[in-house]
Amino acid sequence: MGIEIRGPEGRGATLEVTPGPVEGPLQVGLLIGGPPAPTAWSCTPAAARELAAALVAAAGEAESARESEPVTVEARDLLRGDVRDGDRLMTVEAVRADGANVQVTWTSGAGRSWSQVYEADAAIRLRRRLRPGRRQADP
């Protein structure tokens, strides 16, 4: 069974997933067919399950991000992975309470980090909210 995928330039390819050979280490085969030439990869069954779980999670996040409206939360309630609403991409890296204030470490889309101090009850408008109970994977 082939799964249609697209690259950033819009070029299409087909992804085929197959069990690996009976002999040798347990492997799952991945064949990406398309220009310029087909490419074959393989991974362990555990890595294949991890990839499948990551794809399901990313699909859910992509669908919910389109459906949701920006939300406003208090600075004390920010979570790692929350994305600030605005013209520049800013993601919460860490939050540390310090009495009546909260120190938030932000990371930009360009990879720069900086910290800002807010009053704990300051309203912060978010483009995307990390759902409670979900942990953001470390890079």
Q: How far is CA 8 from CA 16, 66, 92, 120, 139, in A?
A: 19, 19, 26, 40, 21
Alpha-carbon distance of 42 to 126, in angstroms, equals 39
- Give the pLDDT of the chain (139 residues) as one tens digit per residue: 588 888 777 888 898 999 888 888 899 998 888 777 788 889 999 999 998 888 887 777 776 665 567 889 999 999 988 888 877 888 899 999 988 999 999 998 778 899 999 999 999 998 867 555 444 443 3
- Pairing assessment for the beta strands 12-19 and 28-33 based on DSSP bridges: antiparallel
Query: Residues with Cβ < 8 Å from 118, sequence gap 6 or more?
Result: 75, 101, 102, 104, 124
Q: Phi/psi of residue 76, each to 5°? A: -65, -20
Largest CA distance in the chain: 62
CA 102/CA 75 separation, integer angstroms: 7
Neighbours of 109 (CB within 10 A): 10
For residue 89, what pLDDT is reported? 80
Q: Which two tokens stand for residue 16?
A: 């085929």
> How confident is the model at residue 131, as a pLDDT?
54
Gap between the Cα atoms of 37 and 34, Å rounded: 6
Please tell me the predicted confidence (pLDDT) of residue 65.
62
* Three-state DSSP class for residue 89: coil
